[in-house]
Amino acid sequence: MKLNKIWGLVAVGAVVGLGLPYKIDTVYYEISDEKINDELCLVILSDLHDDAPEKRLNELSKRVRDLKPDLILMPGDMAEERNHQDRTIALLKTLTGIPMYYTTGNHEEYRWDLTSLLARFQDVGVTVLDNRAMEVPVKNTLLEIGGIKCRRGAGEYSPEEVSDLFHTDGYRILLSHKPNWVELYEQIDADLFVSGHAHGGQWCIPFTKQGLAAPSQGLFPKYTSGIHETGKGKMLISRGLVRHYHGLPRLYNNPEIVVLTLKPRIREGEKES
């Protein structure tokens, strides 16, 4: 083999090696809103895909608990379609005592035993919000948290059907797995949409957050992470927790725990004390 080919392979190996997911990021966001009366800490866990061997499970659990969240939101694919899910259940069990709210992702919807899986989630303290919403008072703030099942396409829902899940003037949060349903979200009367699914674009251009590809979005997708303006509200997308997808590792795109701080916003005419 010629020397330049050897050096070429070394360079490729270095680029790949440097980009592998060696750690889990903790990423922080803030949103201020007039409906929020107290500072609240929400943790978003998404797209674990049962990828939680014991050492990683213990790290995830400790890091989440150390954040002291008021609640945990899980917009799908915490489980896989084939595995037994004992790792996911073990993680959720360690978080019992923190209010957890969840709706399904596409991989959970593939399961023939979905009803049994959801019962296991509920047994460890997870509230399943598939096509329903509920009032969640936290401190002096009223949240209304809803979720919709991960169906094949956004066209299987009407905006009116989803908006009608909500019945209060509280801060409305909708858990919905797919961020590419943005045209549906723009027509829904909610304040915050929480999604996952895109895995941050799987491979990112080094030192940027631009992913290479995502399901239903194709090459160089727009909706893979971060906060986006969406109709009347905002959409927050988690890059998720899984390190590999069908054997394909992430590159320059670490898994993440998302921490969202909801803060009061001074209403017009009021003065800060």
Q: For residues 230 and 226, what is the distance between their CA atoms, to the nearest angstrom?
A: 12
CATH classification (class only), 24-264: alpha beta
Range scoring the smallest mean pLDDT among 39-53, 79-93, 100-114, 120-134: 79-93
Kindly list the domain boundaries of the chain, sorted by start residue.
24-264
Residue 96 φ/ψ, nearest 5 degrees: -55, 135
Amino acid at 177: H
Beta-bridge partners for 33: 264
Amino acid at residue number 176: S
How many degrees, rounded to 5, is the angle at CA 97 between CA 117 and CA 260? 90
Q: Is the pLDDT of residue 147 over 50?
A: yes
Specify the pairing of strand 132-138 against strand 141-147. antiparallel
Maximal CA-CA distance, the chain: 75
Helix axes 114-123, 86-94, angle to 10 degrees: 20
- Residue 198: strand, helix, or coil: coil
Predicted pLDDT of residue 162: 95
Q: The dihedral of CA 208, 214, 217, 218: what is its sign?
A: positive
C-beta of residue 52 within 8 angstroms of C-beta of residue 90: yes
What is the secondary structure of 10-29 as a DSSP string?
Answer: HHHHHHHHHHS--S-EEEEE
Predicted structure pTM score: 0.90
45 vs 215: CA distance, rounded Å: 19
Bridge partners, 263 (sequence order): 32
Taking only the tens place, the pLDDT of each residue in 3-46 is: 555 444 434 343 445 445 568 999 999 999 999 999 999 999 99
- 50-92: pLDDT as tens digits: 888 888 899 999 999 999 999 999 999 999 887 778 899 999 9
Give residue 22's pLDDT. 61
pLDDT at residue 48 in the model:
93
Helices 86-94 and 54-66 pack at an angle, to 10 degrees, of 30
Q: How far is CA 186 from the centre of its chain?
A: 19
Cβ of 176: how many Cβ atoms within 10 Å? 30
List pLDDT tens digits, range 178-230.
999 999 999 999 999 999 999 999 888 888 889 999 988 999 999 999 999 99
**Residue 267 pLDDT level (bands cut at 50, 70, 90):** low
Q: How far apart are the C-alpha atoms of 258 and 122, rounded to whole Å? A: 23
Q: Quick one: pLDDT at residue 64?
A: 97
